[in-house]
Amino acid sequence: MRIDLSLVKTIGSGLNRPEGVMALDDGSLVAADAQGRVARVGPDGATTFYGHVGGAPNGLCIDDAGNVVIANIGNGQVQSLGPNGRHEILLTEAEGERITSPNFPFIDSKHRLWVSNSTARPDAQKAIEQPAPDGAIVLYEQGQARIVARELYFANGVALDQDEKFFYVAETMTRRVVRFGIAADGRLLDREVYGPDPLGDLGFPDGIAFDEAGSLWVTFPAWNAVGYITPNRELVMALEDPERKVFKRPTNICFGGPGRRTAFIGSLNGTSIPYFQAPHPGMKLIHQS
Contact 159, 219 (CB under 8 A): no
Q: What is the CATH number of domain 5-277?
A: 2.120.10.30
Instruction: Give the separation between CA 57 and CA 47, rounded to whole angstroms.
Output: 17
User: Residue 14: which residues within 8 A CB-CB, separation 6 or more?
Assistant: 39, 47, 271
Q: What is the per-residue pLDDT for 1?
A: 84
Residues of the chain with pLDDT under 70: none
Q: What is the per-residue pLDDT for 67?
A: 98
Half-sphere exposure of 187 (CA within 13 A, CB side): 4
Instruction: Give the separation between CA 182 and CA 64, rounded to whole angstroms.
Output: 22
Contact 162, 283 (CB under 8 A): yes
Is this model's pTM higher than 0.95 or not? yes
Instruction: Give the separation between CA 61 and CA 103, rounded to whole angstroms.
Output: 11
The string of DSSP codes covering 114-136 is EEEE--SSS-HHHHHHS--S-EE
Taking only the tens place, the pLDDT of each residue in 100-117 is 999 999 999 999 999 999
Domain boundaries in the chain? 5-277
Round the CA-based radius of gyration of the chain to a whole number and report it.
17
Longest CA–CA span in the chain (Å) reads 49
